Structure 1
Amino acid sequence: MDKRTKVFISTAASYWFLSVMAIIGRSRKRKRVAIREGITYAPMFERDRKRIDYLNDEIWRNNTTCVKMLRMNKARFFRFCQLFRDHALLEDTVHMCVEQQVTMFLYTVGHNVRNRVIATNLGRSGETVSRYFDKVLHAIGELREDYISPPSLDTSPHIEGNPRWDPYFKDCNGAIDGTHVRATVPKEMQHAFRGRKTHCTQNVMAAVDFEQRFTYVLVGWEGTAHDALVLRDALARENGLRVPQGKYYLVDVGYGAKPGFLPLFRGVRYHLNEWGSNPVQNEKELFNHRHSSLRIIIEQAFGALKRRLKVLDDASPFFPFQTQVDIVVACCIIHNWVIEDGRDEFNVPDDSDEEATTYAGTESENAIMVSFRQGLADQMWADRQNHRH
């Protein structure tokens, strides 16, 4: 065997030996990783206990505290949390139960506080608060079809048997109006969102029944948009607002008279505080007075909604605009659920009224409801005169 052959064999043997040792080393490393004990989280148990103690002592302590902090009483809050479990929309995690997730959400929208405030008060990271806020927001949005649905076709018990409104408004489905909710948008879009208000708003159109439940909500329009334009969009959408044949909604003068929408007489006093001790003088004033006293139900609904959830009526929100839109819908769902659950602590009369925008419908659109409105006014006046005599 010559010298070159010996060198070749020696080199091959060395390479084989090194390869075998490398394989053995990797095998031992994988074995060590496989048998290595997992990281223990013993300190987390104590931290979780302190968090629950804080919630029990400072948030869920009694009805008064729970209403102040979460905008609903204690029993109602826990029923609300159970709703998400029943629908499999939220679930307990290793270190956060459903009640804690919903608490963070209601705390945020109820007081319009920032992420860092919730994180500090509840001992959570900012990322955790943000993540669970989005989860609860999505879960509430999944309830939209269950809690924002068209009204009953039957005459409302609110109207039936009341001589001021029955039989004149027996086919009324509810009331429609718009409200402005504070919005935060990029600088280049602010001119479109700054209308009558000095700050940016989104124009939210809603329909309510006479139990103050929201039966339709359209969100996301700029604050400068006319109410009539928003209504037109609601009617044009595939799953938009629909008025059953023979039914109608009470609306302000800004929406115009057209089939399905019954406005006030323009140029005739209609604010309830305009009458005082001065009696109505003719059929148009009588109609406007009764129309306003019935349509105020939507102002009361908006008032209760904004008193409960300050994210809609406080300083400008700090969420992305699409999240702001979703929050408005979520707040309406919460409002409806509370009404179905029982007496609402925030549902007290609100006589506020907003200036209407102007919109003139076509002659053919106006003719039907104008004639119908005049007929109602004449009937009301005749019945009133007969009763007085």
Structure 2
Amino acid sequence: MDTERLLRESYARGFPGMMGSIDCMHWEWKNCPRAWKGMYQGRSKIATVILEVVASQDLWIWHAFFGTPGSCNDINVLQRSPVFSDICEGKAPEVTFNVNGNTYNMGYYLTDGIYPKWATFIPAIKHPQTGKHKLFTKKQESYRKDVERAFGVLQARFAIICQPSLAWSTEILWKIVMACIIMHNMIVEDERDGYLHYDATEFINDQPQNVAESSTSNNNQPFTVRSGRLDRLNLNGYMENRNNVRDRETHIALKNDLVEHIWGRFGNE
């Protein structure tokens, strides 16, 4: 994943530090063995297998976790997912960005309301009342559709995952899904320059002075990215990173800063 490019696109859209949108999709498993059906079927009484995906604006899928029984919800999938493994183990690239005059050092994902209030998740406001909250919710919900579009394009391109699966094992299902995602990303990479209609660097340079100053205090750049940290894994460091990912106070502060940032940037439209 090109972290710098991803963050540049996120800044151009008004969400500094956004790493993409995360969500889950159910794939019906028609030939699920009878002995496993109770484990793989939920309220719909249909056996399904869940695919968790993180997608960026250009529909590039850079995280995919597949194989969780369909009876689980998004939260159960999240507890098993390796999406934050690199962060907890100290191997993820260091990301620093500034929002509303405050500095943060961890990217975040746009989610729906079911995800927990962690520092790495930013959902919409459930019942927006003020103009600021309504504008933030409108922007968040429109940009979070990236992952839904990615699911739709993936199924439109590969009919095999649009129809109920006829395979007999989860290993075969996993191979099918991963092959489709790899080919999907190859198509996106080949066509990316054709449907990105803006240059984020030009957009940043054209920003008003107050926006540029509020975005950072380091050479008028909206963010900085350092190479991945390869420190030896230790329990104390792992638990500290894990707690930072799940920090509720950081979630609230970042969300409030994003509300102000979105209002200051798009409030006059």
Q: 2:77 aligns with which of 230, 239, 259?
A: 230
Paired with 1:236 and 1:291, the residues of 2 have a C-alpha distance of 21
Q: Where do 5+ consecutive residues of structure 1 fail to align?
A: 1-149, 269-279, 344-360
Paired with 1:155 and 1:310, the residues of 2 have a C-alpha distance of 29
Paired with 1:243 and 1:192, the residues of 2 have a C-alpha distance of 37
The one-letter code matched in structure 1 to 2:248 is N
Q: 1:203 to 1:240 in 2, by over 3 A?
A: farther
Secondary structure at the residue paired with 1:342? helix
Return the index of the structure with the highest Cα Rg.
1
Given that 1:243 and 1:260 are in contact with CA atoms closer than 8 Å, whether structure 2 keeps it comes out as no
Q: 1:330 aligns with which of 162, 179, 182?
A: 179
Counterparts of 1:136-215 in structure 2, within 5 Å, are: 150-156=1-7, 158-161=9-12, 165-166=13-14, 169-183=15-29, 184-215=31-62
For residue 383 of structure 1, report the CA deviation from its aligned partner.
4.7
For residue 266 of structure 1, report the CA deviation from its aligned partner.
3.0
Deviation by residue 1:107-147 (Cα, 9 ceiling, x = unmatched): xxxxxxxxxxxxxxxxxxxxxxxxxxxxxxxxxxxxxxxxx
Aligned to 2:227: none
For residue 206 of structure 1, report the CA deviation from its aligned partner.
0.8
Paired with 2:23 and 2:157, the residues of 1 have a C-alpha distance of 19
Structure (1/2) with the larger helix percentage: 1
The one-letter code matched in structure 1 to 2:26 is H
**Pairwise CA RMSD of aligned residues?**
2.9
Paired with 1:211 and 1:384, the residues of 2 have a C-alpha distance of 22
Q: Could you state the TM-score of these two structures normalised by the residue count of structure 1?
A: 0.47
Paired with 1:323 and 1:240, the residues of 2 have a C-alpha distance of 30
For residue 239 of structure 1, report the CA deviation from its aligned partner.
6.6
Structure (1/2) with the larger strand percentage: 2
Q: 1:188 to 1:237 in 2, by over 3 A?
A: farther
Counterparts of 1:1-389 in structure 2, within 5 Å, are: 150-156=1-7, 158-161=9-12, 165-166=13-14, 169-183=15-29, 184-235=31-82, 244=94, 245-268=105-128, 281-342=130-191, 365-385=247-267, 387=268
Given that 1:234 and 1:240 are in contact with CA atoms closer than 8 Å, whether structure 2 keeps it comes out as no
Task: Give the number of equivalent residue pairs.
Answer: 204
Aligned to 1:49: none
Q: Where do 5+ consecutive residues of structure 2 fail to align?
A: 95-104, 193-242
Given that 2:25 and 2:52 are in contact with CA atoms closer than 8 Å, whether structure 1 keeps it comes out as yes
Q: 1:334 to 1:308 in 2, by over 3 A?
A: same
Aligned to 2:225: none
Q: 1:151 to 1:200 in 2, by over 3 A?
A: farther
Paired with 1:342 and 1:193, the residues of 2 have a C-alpha distance of 37
Identity of aligned residues (%): 22
Paired with 1:324 and 1:262, the residues of 2 have a C-alpha distance of 31
Q: 1:151 to 1:179 in 2, by over 3 A?
A: farther
The one-letter code matched in structure 1 to 2:110 is L
Higher relative contact order (CA 8 A, sep 6+): 2
